[in-house]
Amino acid sequence: MKDKNPDYLSEIIFQRSKKQQLQFELVFAPLLTTIVGIIRPDGIQGVVTLIAVLSLVIISFLRWLTFTGRFANENLFIEKTVRPVELCAIIGVVQIFQYAATTVSHLVPLMLAKTTTLVAILSALIYIASAESVFRIYQLGWGSLFYLRYRNAAEKTGDLSSAKDVIEHIESIRALFGLLITTLLGRMYLEMAYYVLRNAIPDRRDEYIDELHEFVQEAGRLKSNGRNLGIIGTFVISAVVVLPVFGGVAWGLSLLLGTFGSLVLVILTTRVTKHIVGFSYIAFGTLRFDQFITTNKRSVGLLVVYTTVVYLLFFTPAISLT
């Protein structure tokens, strides 16, 4: 797109200023705290959960103060508090999911972890449907993300139209492997961007929306010429990459925390919750897409930390009294 600033999607596509983004956070944090305060359980779990959401309120207020402060370094403070905000919000939302799971436990004869996962998945589906039907931003947001990722990959690979171009571009086996991965990812991003955006671009146009429209037209012509990985192929390749990572994380944590099966469920609950929280802060708050989808190592690290916190707080009998 014309401007590839990391704040692009929230400020340009969603048309929200930094002031509006921070105002959303000031409303969301107290709302979440109020709900959790009403439904929180007794014991250590309830205390820790309440501390987490109260911390979210305090951090959100401090973020606003740095924004309005004349000499405060707002960008640095907002950058450094991204993960605490995300984790505190995840804890609050998981508490809501577990409360709902406990409430319907007499109707669903499953263990708490399974019921909580089902509630989280159902909530995510309702959330996605609401975000798209009411605000019309879910498809547009993710399609724009995949488009930016595709452009970035295309810039890295360049125009390698012949074997000679490829040979000149390659300096080592490692570089060759990197080029192949980047090319494959670029194709996956193109496929995803095309399928998500083709029915999601709004009628109200500006230069940025027009660019997305031009991309969809060009990608459609490219696919009609036979260069078509397909949406199924994209998901298959993604699954080949993602599922072993999830399995490895679950296996590693199971050596320290609990059974493999229960940790798979906790990972799924944590990821679904992170998606809901993350996209809410992307569309309305200050979270950037590059902070939501990070590098592979950081992404795995965050998954391990968040899953460990959620497991210990909500699914360890010594702490969870629900």
pLDDT in tens, 242-262: 677 777 878 888 877 778 878
Unique residue bearing structure tokens 């998500």 = 196
What was the pLDDT predicted at 247?
Answer: 79
- Of 304, 298, 278, 297, the C-alpha closest to 289 is 278
Token pair of 102 as six digits: 């406990």
What was the pLDDT predicted at 158?
Answer: 61
What was the pLDDT predicted at 85?
Answer: 96
φ and ψ at residue 4, rounded to 5 degrees:
-105, 25
What was the pLDDT predicted at 69?
Answer: 86
- Of 30, 24, 20, the C-alpha closest to 56 is 30
Are 269 and 101 contacting, i.e. CB atoms less than 8 angstroms apart?
no
Residue 320 DSSP symbol: -
What was the pLDDT predicted at 106?
Answer: 77
- With a cut of 50, list the residues of the chain below it in pLDDT: 2-8, 159-164, 166, 318, 320-322
What was the pLDDT predicted at 163?
Answer: 44
| pLDDT single digits (tens) 80-116 | 999 999 999 999 999 999 999 999 887 777 788 899 9
What was the pLDDT predicted at 238?
Answer: 66
What was the pLDDT predicted at 234?
Answer: 66
φ and ψ at residue 104, rounded to 5 degrees:
-100, 10
Are 44 and 319 contacting, i.e. CB atoms less than 8 angstroms apart?
yes
CA dihedral for 64, 70, 75, 80, sign (positive or negative): negative
Quote the distance between the C-alpha of residue 17 and its chain's center. 21
